[in-house]
Structure 1
Amino acid sequence: MKEKTTGDLSRELMDKSDIDSYLKENQEYFFHEDMTELLAGIFEKKEISKAALARKAGMSEVYLHQVFSGRRKPSRDRLICLCVGLEASMEETQRLLKQAAYAPLHPKVKRDAIISYGVLHQFSLSEINDKLFTENEKTLF
């Protein structure tokens, strides 16, 4: 079976007369792992405690535990902070953003370019925020 692109799926969705047939025909293309599971999988590969992650990500341990338990969904910026704290790769960061239904980091957006550079070069959260502030861009927290 040929892999369908996002564009293919979008066109098909617009052309369908009912949502049920679209859902049935495209079940294999939907995300099956939720953001919390993906985040936990990345966390398990890292050698960091949740307490240390909370500090590196600039958030409370209570909030972090709520995210990992699925009781809270972090905002896009908070999810990026978690990725920075985890020293996640760019691929892992983009996948988490996509899985959480957030826009991926885009190199044509100045703020996103700064964040991307920080993720790629494993800058700390404060280093990324300092550069964002210097460039008159909204900081991550």
Structure 2
Amino acid sequence: MEKDTTRTLSKALEKIQKSEEADQFIQKHGQSDFVYFYEYLNWIIAQKNLTTAEVITRSGINKNYVYNILNGDKRKPGRDKILALCIGAQMSYSQTQRALEIGNVAPLYPKDERDVRIAVAINGGVGDVTKINLILDEYGLEPINV
């Protein structure tokens, strides 16, 4: 399915007046977004053919906590936990930003040095929280709290 912009969809929605048209619109464009971070994380893990063990190891988060997130028991993990799991799942910068948005926490902010260092590490393919924390430590910045 072609990725439609919100503006395009909004303009199309303005023209819908009948219930049948609404049904067709919903069927065609449905809810493709994720409501909870754990849904998105599970989807990314499946898309990248990763194992949960790999993600846990690279994230540095306690495995029981990760399983509670993955099965939906813990639906609102904190920002650093989401960042750690994104890094562990080797998400791109844009995927990480999307994950933070879905998790209802602040995205990586380009005027914050810590966030810039994390973003640069993600862009550079650093897929291990321990390595990113060493980079942050070099600059005297707060580590990702796992």
TM range (shorter): 0.7 to 0.9
- Asked whether the 8 Å contact 2:60–2:130 carries over to 1, the reply is no
> Residue 47 of structure 1 corresponds to which residue in structure 2?
49
- The CA deviation at 1:140 is 0.3
Corresponding residue SS for 1:137: coil
TM normalised by structure 1 equals: 0.75
- The CA deviation at 1:128 is 1.0
The total of aligned residue pairs comes to 116
Q: Work out the percentage of aligned pairs sharing the same amino acid.
A: 27
- The CA deviation at 1:48 is 2.0
- The CA deviation at 1:3 is 2.3
The two structures, once aligned, show a CA RMSD in angstroms of 2.1
1:137 aligns with 2:144: no
> Residue 94 of structure 1 corresponds to which residue in structure 2?
97
Q: Which residue identity lines up with residue 33 of structure 1 in the other structure?
A: F
Residues 72-100 of structure 1: per-residue CA shift (max 9 Å, x gap): 13210111000111110111100000011
Q: Distance in 1 between matches of 2:49 and 2:33?
A: 26
Residues 15-70 of structure 1: per-residue CA shift (max 9 Å, x gap): xxxxxxxxxxxxxxx99522221111111112321112111100122111100111
Q: Distance in 1 between matches of 2:135 and 2:63?
A: 26
Structure 1 residues 92-131: aligned runs within 5 Å: 92-123=95-126, 124-131=128-135
Q: Distance in 2 between matches of 1:132 and 1:53?
A: 21
Residues 94-118 of structure 1: per-residue CA shift (max 9 Å, x gap): 0000011111101211000000011
Q: Distance in 2 between matches of 1:64 and 1:83?
A: 12
> Residue 33 of structure 1 corresponds to which residue in structure 2?
34
Which fold has the larger relative contact order, with Cα–Cα distance below 8 Å and residues 6 or more apart in sequence?
A: 2
| Unmatched tracts of structure 1, length 5 or more | 5-29
Distance verdict in 2 for CA 1:112–1:31, change over 3 Å: farther
TM normalised by structure 2 equals: 0.72
